[in-house]
Amino acid sequence: MVTLHSATAEASPNIALIKYWGNADNELRIPSNGSISLTLGGLSTVTRVTFDPGLAQDVLLIAGQPAHPPAHDRVRQHLDLIRERAGVVAHARVESSNNFPSGAGIASSASAFAALTLAALAAAGIESDAESQSRLARRGSGSACRSILGGYVEWHAGGTDAASYATQLAAADHWALVDLVAVVSRAPKPIGSTDGHRLADTSPLQAARVADAPRRLALCRQAILKRDFEALAAIVELDSQLMHAVMMTSSPPLLYWLPSTLAILRAAAEWRRSGEGVCATIDAGPNVHCLCAPGQASGMEARLRALPGVEDVLTCPPGGAARLLQTDT
């Protein structure tokens, strides 16, 4: 009789407050600078991994459909790391689904590789702590190392595989910020993050951005710990603009913004000047994440929805850590 080992895990995506852009080591995904994020509640990826000696190859189903070859290969490589560690030879069936729409400006690779790492480690029978889970999730997708933890999270660049992982800065209930994601396009992005990271060093601005990162990280850390929204808003917007300046000045240049992206940036700046607790940050795409101080989200959501070009607004409070839902052997 064949023994199947399976486990199911859940993880949430995150929004970077201080961005990861560019790697010191692309192969190991060791970043050029540390980063800080907020794990997004209400959104999650649930992934079930079953190691099955009867399978001739790994099977990956996303929302019930066989995955395209690039996604399949990336998952297979990640499973290989875990198989190697556990001495498992069986192939795996991986079934993954998101409760949020793809292409809505929320990177699903972070929650996907965090959930995959947790489920695959458990199915392979490896006991692990958050630090080693984060280190391993990083190998699948850099930002996934932050989605292992809940609340406010810092990824320590580290410089080596052993030293590059994320830890929690503050729990989700430390500060009730809300991320309103203003969706202006659902089209797939022309250049994904993995290719984008490889272009970062072609920008003459990247070295300055990286050199200044410790200062921005310290300001962001301090603003979170003191719950100082004005200070957070200033550093989050500066950091996002620095990353997009690097993107726009890479060879070839990356310009993720649409006219409506800029309209939201200008509106958010105007609202803050008039005393509202809101600031804007953008990952590798045209959609804008508007962070709101506690109690400000419902008013802001209505204002965002009224802007031309805004197709939808998703509301995300701080979320919890990745967790194992089930283990069967």
Nearer to ligand DP6, 71 or 207 (CB): 71
- Reported as type and span, the H/E element at residue 73 is helix 69-86
Q: State the nearest-atom distance from the C-beta of 151 to ligand DP6, in Å.
A: 16
Q: Using alpha carbons, select from 6, 2, 304, 323 the residue that is nearest to residue 179.
A: 304
Number of residues lying near ligand DP6 (CB under 6 A): 16
Q: State the nearest-atom distance from the C-beta of 97 to ligand DP6, in Å.
A: 19
Please choose, out of 17-25, 62-70, 88-96, 298-306, the segment that lies near ligand DP6 by the rule CB under 6 A: 17-25
Nearer to ligand DP6, 141 or 250 (CB): 141
Please choose, out of 18-26, 90-98, 122-130, 183-191, the segment that lies near ligand DP6 by the rule CB under 6 A: 18-26
Q: How far is CA 254 from CA 107, 133, 232, 250, 310, in A?
A: 17, 32, 26, 7, 22
What is the residue type of 166? A
d(CA 13, CA 34): 18
Q: Any contact of residue 197 with ligand DP6 (CB under 6 A)?
A: yes
Q: State the nearest-atom distance from the C-beta of 125 to ligand DP6, in Å.
A: 27
Q: In what order do the strands lie in the sheet with 14-18?
A: 14-18, 35-39, 152-156, 165-170
Structure tokens at 41: 């509640």
Q: What angle do CA 216, 268, 319 make, to 5 degrees?
A: 65
Choosing from 109, 134, 185, 261, the residue that interacts with ligand DP6 (CB under 6 A) is 109
Choosing from 16, 170, 178, 183, the residue that interacts with ligand DP6 (CB under 6 A) is 16
Nearer to ligand DP6, 51 or 100 (CB): 100
Q: Any contact of residue 250 with ligand DP6 (CB under 6 A)?
A: no
Choosing from 9, 49, 82, 107, the residue that interacts with ligand DP6 (CB under 6 A) is 107
Find out whether 140 and 116 touch, Cβ atoms under 8 Å: yes
Q: Any contact of residue 10 with ligand DP6 (CB under 6 A)?
A: no
Q: What are phi and psi of 59, to 5 degrees?
A: -120, 130
Structure tokens at 184: 């202006």
The β-bridge partners of 5 are 51
- Reported as type and span, the H/E element at residue 95 is strand 91-98
Q: Any contact of residue 143 with ligand DP6 (CB under 6 A)?
A: yes
The β-bridge partners of 315 are 180
Q: Any contact of residue 142 with ligand DP6 (CB under 6 A)?
A: yes
- Reported as type and span, the H/E element at residue 226 is helix 213-226
Q: Which of residues 278-297 bind ligand DP6 (CB under 6 A)?
A: 283-284
Nearer to ligand DP6, 6 or 240 (CB): 240
Binding mask 26-45 for ligand DP6 (x = CB under 6 A): ---x-----x----------
Q: Any contact of residue 97 with ligand DP6 (CB under 6 A)?
A: no
d(CA 320, CA 37): 12
Find where tokens 């079953």 sit.
50
Nearer to ligand DP6, 109 or 260 (CB): 109
Q: Any contact of residue 141 with ligand DP6 (CB under 6 A)?
A: yes
Give the footprint of ligand DP6 on this chain (CB under 6 A): 16, 19-21, 29, 35, 107, 109, 141-143, 193-194, 197, 283-284
